[in-house]
Amino acid sequence: MGQKKVNIKKEILGAVISSLVCIALFAAVAGFFLWANTIDDIPKIIIILYVAVPVIIIATIIFALVQRIKKLKQGEMDDASQY
């Protein structure tokens, strides 16, 4: 039982770290486009689209992370092996 608890914590930590890296990258992309708008005036619709896409992806990553943590707490360590 103790080993399983440690493995779950490692799995959760791995999911959180990888999610944070992806979120940081997409936030940097959105920030870059916002910064580029200060340098050169870009049409508002383009800025909205270029910033909205990374924000939507970040929200999806957070949603997937929450789902993964729930599955890990239910005991599904290797859910891909079911397929």
The residues, ordered by sequence, that sit 6+ positions from 34 with a Cβ below 8 Å of its Cβ are: 47, 51
Q: Is the pLDDT of residue 1 over 60?
A: no
pTM, two decimal places: 0.80
Residue 74 has a pLDDT of 85
Whole-angstrom Cα distance, residue 66 to residue 58? 12
**How far is residue 51's CA from residue 31's CA, in Å, rounded to a whole number?**
8
pLDDT (tens digit per residue) in 27-82: 999 999 999 989 988 899 999 999 999 999 999 999 999 999 998 888 776 666 66
- Model confidence band, residue 20 (pLDDT cutoffs 50, 70, 90): very high
pLDDT at 78: 65
